[in-house]
Structure 1
Amino acid sequence: MKKDIDIPEVTDVYVAAVREEHEEYGSLDWNAYLINDLAETLESVLIVSRGYDGTRETSVMRHSIAKLPPQSFAKVEFLQDDVLQLNNEFSVSFFAEGKMFHKKFVFKKNSINEKALREVPVMQKKGVLLK
């Protein structure tokens, strides 16, 4: 039965960690974003995130986005400095083109840092990008 389920490959949908100044506190914070670089709207987006390593694990966070239009992005969550020392996994499921898509994005521990910054599509900002 499971072998009969066709889940197509995810392309042009990314997760990025972007360093931004917090307007109220004036601090530099890392935020995770979901980016839709497709020509299609993503519908019923479900994101499950968690941080982990061999001995530590964070709480599981669940997020939903009803619709994410083409060539757009949405903030998923704030990333505390403590969790950057862990592997940070974002399990993303959505509907597009009448099909269900799913992909896991994993930031390896300590990979979210200033040295790893590069241009992030759609956002026109610098961040750490997972494809």
Structure 2
Amino acid sequence: MKKDIEIPKVEDVYIAVVNEYNDTYKSQDWNAYIVNNKDVDLEMVLIVTSGFSEDKITSVFRKKLDRLPKKSYAKIELMQEELFAINNQFKVSFFEGNKMFDKTYTFRKNTINLKALQTIPLIGAQGVLVK
């Protein structure tokens, strides 16, 4: 029965889009990161990203991390600024212990910008965070 299914709440796992300097290309880039601010490791992390609006949709990007250690972060992808004019969605699934967790993080259109920058936990760089 549906009432018997327990869906655990995801806490202390975030998606951040960080504005950082790229030494190789001498440019300011926007990179998406997953942040594990938990005191436990995450296993089999699956991330599916896509962008969408009323009349546009991007291709789907998938990334798998076997393990994301506690109090750490990992780069997901480089993001082009043109994508910030549409909604950007990150569907994250992972195992913590023997339980599977799942959460969808959405950056609404035009919310990723230089005026919205804040310091991102653990990374220490400036970016936009969705909890």
| TM-score (structure 1 length as normaliser) | 0.96
- The size of the alignment, in residue pairs, is 131
Name 2:48's counterpart in structure 1: 48
Is residue 104 of structure 1 aligned with residue 104 of structure 2?
yes
Matched-pair contact (CA < 8 Å) for 2:91–2:105: yes
Matched-pair contact (CA < 8 Å) for 2:15–2:130: yes
Name 2:32's counterpart in structure 1: 32
Question: Which amino acid in the other structure matches residue 39 of structure 1?
Answer: D
Question: Which amino acid in the other structure matches residue 82 of structure 1?
Answer: E
Name 1:74's counterpart in structure 2: 74
Residue 22 of structure 1: how far off its partner (Å) = 1.3
Q: Identify unmatched segments of 5+ residues in structure 1.
A: none
CA distance in 1, matches of 2:97, 2:121: 21
Residue 4 of structure 1: how far off its partner (Å) = 3.3
- Provide runs of 4+ in structure 1 moved above 4 Å: none
| TM-score (structure 2 length as normaliser) | 0.96
CA distance in 2, matches of 1:36, 1:113: 23
SS of residue in 2 equivalent to 1:104? strand
Name 1:7's counterpart in structure 2: 7
Q: 1:80 to 1:122 in 2, by over 3 A?
A: same
CA distance in 2, matches of 1:3, 1:125: 42
SS of residue in 2 equivalent to 1:95? strand
CA-atom RMSD in angstroms: 1.0
Q: Identify unmatched segments of 5+ residues in structure 2.
A: none
Residue 84 of structure 1: how far off its partner (Å) = 1.1
Identity of paired residues, percent?
A: 49
